[in-house]
C-alpha cells in the first residue's frame, strides 16, 4: 500500500506517533483483564495515571480529574470557574471572559465560550454572562496590548470584580495563534488582582506539542486550572482538568464524573503515552525541531508573500494563513488546493482550518525526525511552486 507522512497527528492526537508499541501493549494488557469499567470503584491504571500527572504538574498543589472528551473538560472548567466565583463573590461574580475565534468544544457550554457566532447559532438563549474580547494574534488583531482587554470589558460594561474566570486556548487552534508573552503575563496579574481564575485550554497544546510539557509554560505563567485532551493518550478518548486543590475540591466524589471517566483501558493508554513522551524525550524533540519548523514556515511566507499572510509556529505546531492577494481575507479555495496537492504527494494534512478556512495547519507527531520534517515541508513548498503562486 501507499506510505504517508502525517502532518496532522490525526487531529493533534498521536503525539507519540501512530500505534506506538508501548501504548498498544498497555491497551492490550488492560483489555485482557476481566474488568473493563469500574465507575463506582478506583482502578490501578487510574491511580497510576493521576500520580503521573501530579509528577508533571506545574506545581505540587495541583490535582487532576479525568473525563473522556475535550468538550467535557472545558465544560468541567466552566463549572469550576462559575462555582468558585459565586463562592468568593456571590451570584454577581459569574462572568466568564473568553476570546473571539476561540474553540472549546461543541457542547452547549463550550460553544458559548467559543468565539464563533456560527458555532452557537443553534442556541436560542445565549448566556449573557459569557463575554468575548479580541484575541491578540498580531495579524487580524494588530493591537496586542493588554489595554485592549481592559478597554473591551469597559465597553461591555463589565465590572472586573464580577469576573469569575478567563478562559483561553493556549494557542488558538484556528491558527495556531499565540498571544504575546507580555500579554499572557499581564492577564495573569489581572486575574490575581480581581480574584478571577485563569484557565488555559491545553487540549491541543498539552503533552509536549509546543516544545514544553504544557503549552502555557511558553508564557512563563501558571494558570489556576487547565484542560487536557487529544495528545493525552495518543490513541483512545480521554481528557481531564488539572487545577489548584482549593478549586478541584469544590465538588466531592461522584459530583463531576461521567460514565466512562477514568476507565482503566483509556487510563492505561494515557499512562503509557506520558511515560513514552518522557522516556523518548519528545518534548525536547518538539522544541528542537520547532526551531526548524518556525524558520521554514517564515521562509515559505517570504517566498510567497502575495498569498501567505501569516506563518505562526511554536514547537511542532504551525500554520500558513493563505490570503487573497493584497488583503487579509482568507482564501479557502487556494488553501484547499495546496492541501489536496500535498495529499496527492503522500502528505496528510488537515482540511483548511481557521476563520474563513484559510489556514494550512501543520502538526506532525512529536516523534518525527528532522529528515521527515524537512521532507514534508519541501512537499508543501513544491506544491505551492507547482501552483505558480
Q: What is the CATH number of the domain that holds 195?
A: 3.40.640.10
Predicted confidence at residue 190, as pLDDT, reads 99
**Rounded-to-integer distance, Cα 265 and Cα 280, Å:** 22
Predicted confidence at residue 176, as pLDDT, reads 97
Q: Could you tell me the CATH number of the domain that includes residue 338?
A: 3.90.1150.10
Contact 339, 361 (CB under 8 A): no
**Rounded-to-integer distance, Cα 304 and Cα 274, Å:** 39
Residues 179-232 pLDDT 10s: 999 999 999 999 999 999 999 999 999 999 999 999 999 999 999 999 999 999
**Do 261 and 352 lie in a common domain?**
no
**Do 364 and 293 lie in a common domain?**
yes
Contact 173, 103 (CB under 8 A): yes
Predicted confidence at residue 38, as pLDDT, reads 82
**Do 163 and 305 lie in a common domain?**
no
CA 338, 339, 340: angle at the middle one, nearest 5? 95
| Last residue within a domain, chosen from 244, 279, 314 | 279
Predicted confidence at residue 111, as pLDDT, reads 97
Q: Is 102 strand, coil or helix? A: coil
**Rounded-to-integer distance, Cα 239 and Cα 228, Å:** 5
- Domain count along the chain: 2
**Do 93 and 236 lie in a common domain?**
yes
Contact 365, 18 (CB under 8 A): yes
**Do 128 and 258 lie in a common domain?**
yes
| Last residue within a domain, chosen from 260, 279, 298 | 279
**Do 311 and 361 lie in a common domain?**
yes
Longest pairwise C-alpha distance within the chain: 62
From the list 264, 261, 289, 308, the residue with the least C-alpha distance to 376 is: 289
Residue with cell 526548524: 292
Q: Is 330 strand, coil or helix? A: strand
Local confidence pLDDT in tens for the 389 residues of the chain: 678 999 999 999 999 999 999 999 999 999 999 888 888 788 999 999 999 999 999 999 999 999 999 999 999 999 999 999 999 999 999 999 999 999 999 999 999 999 999 999 999 899 999 999 999 999 999 999 999 999 999 999 999 999 999 999 999 999 999 999 999 999 999 999 999 999 999 999 999 999 999 999 999 999 999 999 999 999 999 999 999 999 999 999 888 888 999 999 999 999 999 999 999 999 999 999 999 999 999 999 999 999 999 999 999 999 999 999 999 999 999 999 999 999 999 999 999 999 899 999 999 999 999 999 999 999 999 999 999 98
Domain span at residue 252 reads: 21-279
**Do 262 and 325 lie in a common domain?**
no
> Which ranges of 140-257 does DSSP label H, i.e. alpha helix?
147-155, 181-194, 245-248
**Do 72 and 206 lie in a common domain?**
yes
Burial of 279 by CB count in 10 Å (0-12 exposed, 13-18 middle, 19+ buried)? exposed
For 67, how many CA atoms within 13 A lie in the half-sphere containing its CB?
22
**Do 223 and 251 lie in a common domain?**
yes
**Do 45 and 141 lie in a common domain?**
yes
| Last residue within a domain, chosen from 279, 313, 347 | 279
Contact 319, 362 (CB under 8 A): yes
Predicted confidence at residue 42, as pLDDT, reads 86
Q: Per the structure block, which three cell numbers stand in for 183?
A: 500579554
> Which ranges of the chain does DSSP label H, i.e. alpha helix?
9-12, 21-31, 44-56, 70-89, 108-113, 147-155, 181-194, 245-248, 264-279, 282-303, 332-344, 370-386
Predicted confidence at residue 145, as pLDDT, reads 98
**Rounded-to-integer distance, Cα 385 and Cα 379, Å:** 10
Contact 373, 293 (CB under 8 A): yes
For 219, how many CA atoms within 13 A lie in the half-sphere containing its CB?
25
Q: Is 310 strand, coil or helix? A: strand
Predicted confidence at residue 77, as pLDDT, reads 99
**Do 373 and 233 lie in a common domain?**
no
**Rounded-to-integer distance, Cα 119 and Cα 126, Å:** 12
**Do 332 and 292 lie in a common domain?**
yes
Amino acid at each position: 500500500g501507499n506510505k504517508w507522512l502525517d502532518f496532522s497527528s490525526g487531529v493533534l492526537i498521536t503525539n507519540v506517533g501512530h500505534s506506538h508499541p508501548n501504548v498498544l501493549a498497555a491497551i492490550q494488557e488492560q483489555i485482557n483483564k476481566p474488568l473493563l469499567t469500574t465507575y463506582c470503584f478506583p482502578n490501578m491504571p487510574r491511580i497510576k495515571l493521576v500520580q503521573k500527572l501530579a509528577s508533571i504538574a506545574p506545581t505540587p498543589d495541583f490535582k487532576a480529574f479525568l473525563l473522556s472528551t475535550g468538550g467535557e473538560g472545558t465544560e468541567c472548567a466552566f463549572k469550576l470557574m462559575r462555582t468558585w466565583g459565586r463562592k468568593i463573590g456571590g451570584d454577581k461574580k459569574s462572568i466568564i471572559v473568553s476570546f473571539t475565534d476561540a474553540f472549546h468544544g461543541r457542547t452547549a457550554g463550550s460553544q458559548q465560550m467559543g468565539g464563533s457566532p456560527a458555532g452557537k447559532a443553534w442556541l436560542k438563549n445565549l448566556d449573557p454572562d459569557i463575554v468575548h474580547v479580541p484575541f491578540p494574534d498580531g495579524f487580524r488583531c494588530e493591537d496586542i496590548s493588554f489595554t485592549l482587554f481592559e478597554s473591551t470589558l469597559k465597553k461591555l460594561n463589565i465590572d472586573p470584580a464580577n469576573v469569575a474566570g478567563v478562559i483561553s486556548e493556549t494557542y488558538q487552534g484556528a491558527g495556531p495563534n499565540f498571544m504575546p508573552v507580555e500579554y499572557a503575563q499581564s492577564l495573569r496579574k489581572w486575574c490575581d488582582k480581581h480574584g478571577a481564575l485563569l484557565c488555559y485550554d491545553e487540549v491541543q497544546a498539552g503533552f509536549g506539542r509546543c516544545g514544553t510539557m504544557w503549552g502555557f509554560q511558553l508564557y512563563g505563567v501558571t494558570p489556576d486550572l487547565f484542560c487536557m485532551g487529544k495528545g493525552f493518550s495518543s490513541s483512545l478518548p480521554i481528557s481531564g482538568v488539572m487545577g489548584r486543590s482549593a478549586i478541584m475540591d469544590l465538588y466531592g466524589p461522584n459530583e463531576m464524573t461521567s460514565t466512562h471517566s477514568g476507565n482503566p483501558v483509556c487510563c492505561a493508554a494515557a499512562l503509557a503515552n506520558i511515560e513514552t513522551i518522557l522516556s523518548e524525550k519528545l518534548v525536547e524533540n518538539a522544541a528542537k525541531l520547532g526551531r526548524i519548523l518556525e524558520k521554514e514556515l517564515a521562509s515559505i511566507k517570504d517566498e510567497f508573500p502575495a498569498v501567505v499572510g501569516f506563518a505562526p509556529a511554536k514547537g511542532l505546531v504551525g500554520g500558513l494563513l493563505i490570503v487573497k492577494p493584497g488583503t487579509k481575507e482568507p482564501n479557502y479555495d487556494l488553501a484547499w488546493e495546496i492541501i489536496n496537492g500535498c495529499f496527492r504527494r503522500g502528505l496528510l494534512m488537515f482540511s483548511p482550518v481557521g476563520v474563513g478556512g484559510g489556514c494550512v495547519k501543520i502538526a506532525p507527531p512529536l516523534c518525527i525526525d528532522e529528515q521527515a520534517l524537512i521532507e514534508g515541508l519541501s512537499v508543501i513548498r513544491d506544491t505551492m511552486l507547482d501552483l505558480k503562486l
